[in-house]
Amino acid sequence: MNQDEVICSCLNVTRGMIKEAVNNGAKTFAEVQEATEVGTVCGACVEDVEKLIAELTSK
Ligand code: FES
């Protein structure tokens, strides 16, 4: 996974930032959103972020 890949272009949130939020204890989209503000502008990234969180939390 490319950690620097921007998953939310509105807020420049990268995959690495989502991973960090999960590593810091966030388990749901709402918790990751609280930590990163991801998906709070246009919402287009929400599905991708949810998939990524599912991937990260299933390990
Ligand atoms: S791309 Fe994430 S809120 Fe727009």
Per-residue pLDDT tens over the stretch 2-57: 999 999 999 999 999 999 999 999 999 999 999 999 999 999 999 999 999 999 99
The ligand 1 site (C-beta within 6 Å) comprises 8-11, 39, 41-45
Report the helix count and the strand count for the chain, using DSSP H and E.
3, 2
- For residue 59, pLDDT over 90 is answered with no
Tokens of 25: 């204890």
Tell me the residue range of the domain where 21 lies: 6-58
Selection from 56, 46, 35, 53 nearest residue 10 by Cα: 46
Q: How far is the centre of ligand 1, averaged over its atoms, from the C-alpha of 26 (Å)? A: 19
DSSP bridge pairs for 14: 6
Give a yes or no: residue 1 inside a domain: no
49 contact partners, CB below 8 Å, separation of at least 6: 7, 8, 18, 29, 32, 38, 39
How many Å apart are CA 54 and CA 38, to the nearest integer?
A: 15
Q: What's the total number of domains in the chain? A: 1
Looking at residue 53, what is its pLDDT? Answer: 98
Looking at residue 49, what is its pLDDT? Answer: 98
Looking at residue 38, what is its pLDDT? Answer: 98
Q: What CATH number does the domain containing 32 carry? A: 1.10.10.1100
Give a yes or no: residue 44 inside a domain: yes
